[in-house]
Amino acid sequence: MDFFLFVEGPLLWISFLTFIIGSILRVVLFVSVSRKKDTIIYQYVRWKYFFSTLGRWLLPLNKDVAKNPLFTIMGYIFHICLIVVPVWFSGHISLWEESRLEWAWTPMPDRLADWMTLIFLAIALFFLLRRIISADIRLLSTFSDYLLIVVVALPFVTGYFLTHGTVDTIGFLGDNIQVIHMLSGEVMLILIPFTKLSHFVLFFFSRGATAFEFGRRGYSI
């Protein structure tokens, strides 16, 4: 099978399935061990504290925003762009429409997608530079911390190049930018369940546990 056909066919399936099933498994495995070994937390479940903490942290309504406003707001914008662009970009929706699933939904304006991509990349670059330059953050960082910024940024860089023809004249890149873009997205999807990127699902359990712990003290965090 031609490499391109592999990337846009079986590998697409593999990456989505790995992402979806891997994430579900991550949650299921955690909960099953947690029910046995985190028993103290389950005794103090009070949903008002769960929803309150989600509200404070999914929205910029928490103490970190007061403490480090620039960094945290950048983090919020980063995550919004990360999720909105791949899901609502017209180019992606066309592909879903053409697929056997024939799903379609209203796309976002292309110019907005462009801007959000560039803003996302600027923030990703800032995160990477910060991780390299700041002595504090460097001490905390592992190879994976640096790599994952690049892994997450690549689909956006290559996607931008693809839609704007930026590298079309540059030999190998120009000829293969579509495959490279798809591959970069697939790599990211596959890595999500196996790395700290899994925080996209585990965040809810992590915040929940701590919200219940402080909920015992009568206040929401």
Partner 1 sequence: MSKSANAKMTEQVNAIETREIDAKEIITFLKSKMPARFKMWLNICASCGLCADTCHYYLSSGKDPQMIPAHKVRFLKEILKKKGKVDRSFLQKVYNTVYHECNMCRRCTLYCPFGIDIAQMISLLRSLLLSQGIAPEGLLATVKNYNEFGNQMAISKEDWVDTVEWCEEETADELVGLKIPIDKKGAKILYTVNAREPKFYPQDIMEVAQIFHVAGEDYTLCSEDGWDGTNLAMFCGDAKTARLMVENTFKRADELEVQQVAVTECGHAYRALRFEAPAWLGYTPKQEVVHSVELFHDYIRDGRIKLKDKIKEPTTVQDPCNVIRNGGLAEKNRRLAEFLSEDFRPMKYQGNYNYCCGGGGGALPMGGEMKKYRLVSGKIKAEQIRETGAKIVFVPCHNCIDQIRDLSKEYDLGIKAIHFKEAITEHMEIPEHMIPKEDED
Q: Which is nearer to partner 1, 2 or 136 (CB)?
A: 136
* 133 near partner 1, rule: CB under 8 A: no
Minimum CB separation from partner 1 for residue 17, in Å?
Answer: 22
Distances (CA, A) of 220 to 22, 50, 192: 31, 8, 30
CA dist., res. 185 & res. 18, Å (int): 13
Minimum CB separation from partner 1 for residue 153, in Å?
Answer: 16
* 207 near partner 1, rule: CB under 8 A: yes
* 47 near partner 1, rule: CB under 8 A: no
* 71 near partner 1, rule: CB under 8 A: yes
Q: What are phi and psi of 218, to 5 degrees?
A: 85, 15
* 52 near partner 1, rule: CB under 8 A: no
Binding-site string for partner 1 from residue 170 to residue 199, where x marks contact by CB under 8 A and - marks none = --------------------------x-xx
Place of tokens 């999500």: 192
Tell me if 163 sits within 8 A of 169, measured CB to CB. Answer: no
Under rule CB under 8 A, how many of the chain's residues touch partner 1?
46
* 99 near partner 1, rule: CB under 8 A: no
∠151-153-158 over CA atoms, to 5°? 100
Tell me if 18 sits within 8 A of 186, measured CB to CB. Answer: no
By CB under 8 A, name the binding residues for partner 1: 30, 33-34, 36-38, 40-41, 43, 53, 57, 63-64, 67-68, 71-72, 75, 131, 134-137, 139-142, 145, 196, 198-199, 202-203, 205-207, 209-211, 213-214, 216-219, 221
